[in-house]
Structure 1
Amino acid sequence: MTGFEVTHSFEMTGFEVSRSQIKLVQKNLEENWERSGGAFVVYHKNQKVVDIWGGYSDRESQRKWTQDTLSVAFSCSKAMGAIVIGMLVDKGMIGYDDLVTEYWPEFGRNGKENVTIRWLITHKAGLAYTDHPISLEDTRNFKIIDGILENQKPNWPPGQKVGYHAVTHGWLIDALVRRVDGRTIGQFFREEIAEKYDVVVPKIKFSLRAIHALGLDQEDLSTLDKVTQKCDDCSVPLRYLPGSLIGFDHENNVVSLQMIGHLDAAGLMPATRNSDLYRMRIAESEGVMQIIRKMEKEHGRPFGTSVIFDLDGMSMAQLDVAALKCVTTMLSQLQEMFPDVIRKIFVINTPTFIQVLWGMISPCLAKQTQQKVKILGNDWKQHLKENIGEEVLFERWGGTRKAETEYGNVRMGGKIPDELKYDPANDLPAEKLTKLTISSRSTSFVPITLEGHAPGRKLYWWWRIENNDINFSILRAAEGQEKVAEHDDDYMVHPKFKLQTEYVPEDGEVSAEEPGVYKFVFDNTHSTFRSKTVKYFIEIR
């Protein structure tokens, strides 16, 4: 019995598990429903509140399951299937206690006529496996799979026992959804959840493609120093952007200290391309994520970031409208690409107009991020010592970390030298430029067709927008999608960024060794009334 001991911990009141529930988990182990061991963890608002574990991680060697035992995650899509069934119930199209045969009559063969939808989704249908062998080719034809399931005799009397339907569950749910709604479970989930509400899948897809397009998946960003160096390499003017990654707090979250009050916003905008700011912040965020993912793999628990915004020296004169618009737009995109990474936000040395500043920034922050913001008073040093750790903080912020100056290695920003600012005299001559007008709520693109594979071939671009901003990206068209601006199957060459060129034009080059149609996309769908005019130049090199 001691081999099946169940241990538990709680890290937040209000989520205690009763003794009877603990005994139920232990009984599961003792009666061989769970043959080895396992764990159950609950997170609420990104905080672990329940943690239960027990049994063996390796029964033969008598190695017990511990709190830190790692396991393989699988069958995650069953939760998606349950959501789809729940939506059909909510729409009144089916009921949990309806018989499956009401919608799928052929299913009732061989003793399955009394199986309910509830039994189907709770693994009580007695169809954990099939007697008929299923080949890889069979899985591509739902009619064959349906027939096998229809003719299968229950493995045990339906409704009497629970048995994990590891192999058959997805096919059973899909067959039911097709008969009720007409769409496959994949189509239903994509159209009713993923696309309609713009949730996790599209965001993850964009993030992965953007990181690959920027080459960050090939970069070694395994330490904070390497991340900082990558950011410094993005743009010389951006080295005047105040703030640094300074270490790890008590909980091993990465600590970012941003000296907002030392930002020369008015000087920064005329000195660097908007896209460089995106590249730098995405590189920093992906670098931090690489470090976090490594730690999570080692420790078996989630980590994030703790951010300190120091507003010392902040004045209303620094609130440059163009810079603020660029920053808020970029923050929104970073949250889309790296959602819910921030664990804590501390704001210190707040000016009297903090409410005005908060009113400008807060709309671009997700609600869960806003809830993590703590605006500290005069005792902010004590709060930082308690929540971050004095050994991490330099003396300027109340810590004991030694350095040549009280600011340590934190980049302090400062006035951007005039010689780093862009000279409009360097704009391309008007005779080289082509004019393109993009109507409001629409997208236009410039197609460049390249023949044959050509090592070293590149595409160079230069453009300016006459006013406001526009989304810009470069795609290589998927087969058959050469005449549309964007398609999900297109290959991303340059991520979509919302850019303005009031001070500095956008230019750059990308590798174009592969043949195909390269689409330079200008997306103005976010603009309700305004059309936008772009003057551009594109060259094959």
Structure 2
Amino acid sequence: MAEPVTGVPPLQQRVQSVLDELVDTGAETGLQVAVYHHGALDVDAVAGVADGMTGRKVTPETPFFSFSAGKVMTSLIAHLLVSNGAVGYDTPVVDLWPEFGAHGKATVTLRHVLTHSVGVPAMPRGICPADLTDWSRVCTAIADAEPRWQPGTKTGYHSFTFGFLVGEVARRATGKPMRQLLNEWIAVPLGLQGDLYFGVPRTDLPRLARLEDSAPRPVAPYDGDAILAPWEMQPTAAMGNSHDILQADIPSVGTFTARGIAAMHAAVLDGRLMDSHQLEEVTAVAFEGTDQVFGSQARLGLGYPLGRIGTRPDEAPTTFGWIGGGGSYVYADSVTGTSFAMTKTRLTPHFNTAQRLADVITAGADPHA
């Protein structure tokens, strides 16, 4: 057993030990973990390489494209829109975006968007990954989509449509794109420029981690009964390393450092970005039901799945956050005042690393854990 390092907090040592083991055994290639507790940075750990081709090491300042874990930034912008009076949770989307009312979607509200109950979980056929960089084309297609269920009656993971739904409401309410709102409302006030991105500036691309697939991924044939297309379901390193995708404003996915996203959530928990009444509303159960995409039980707050990875369905949820395709994970716990973020280079079809590290953090207060 390794001897404690004098002057290094025990939780930091514990997390660093796990990260080093994961890299040494080849289970992972590069990782970041950051944890804030009541506003203080308790863990800021990295291991491995950010780029397996060059050997460049991961640092706390290395941004990672982390797929849907970036949705926490999107949801927060929606809540800031509400707190500044631009919209309400029950504002009809058509009040801002009249074209969206086509095919029976006139009743859709921002609350429906945040609970993935709009009924348009999949990108309209004809929209492919290359089209995600064309904001106008994607939003026009979504506005003309026919819902799969009556809005508000069911939930189903809106994989890529979610970011464009929130983003177009935000753009019409403020006149600004999501990348600008993220910078002006969150990154600049918190001093996190260079840590949080929707659309990475070209000059910052060399700082990013380079993603890798854990194994060659066969291209699955399209199942006509599936709701989401294969590219919406299965993250790939090719997408996450694409300069076109990385530079585009696609707020269904995001690029960030673990330290940056954990700091953002710390500011949510301590009232700098959201008052206690709104936080209570946001983290209350807003929708429960069978996810129409995955067939699993879903329990959602406003903009976030509730409950930490590994907790039982019957446990009261105290955490909110998002997993990211490939294994990244971010969450905040409104009871303990803890915010956690983990990013990684190797895309895996499971969340074993995320759960292991989240378990370490949860047990961190127990000296015998």
Which TM-score bucket, shorter chain as reference? 0.3 to 0.5
Output the TM-score relative to the length of structure 1. 0.26
By relative contact order (CA 8 Å, sep 6+), the higher-ranking structure is: 2
Q: TM-score, normalised by structure 2?
A: 0.37
- More strand as a share of residues: 1
Q: Which is greater in Rg? A: 1
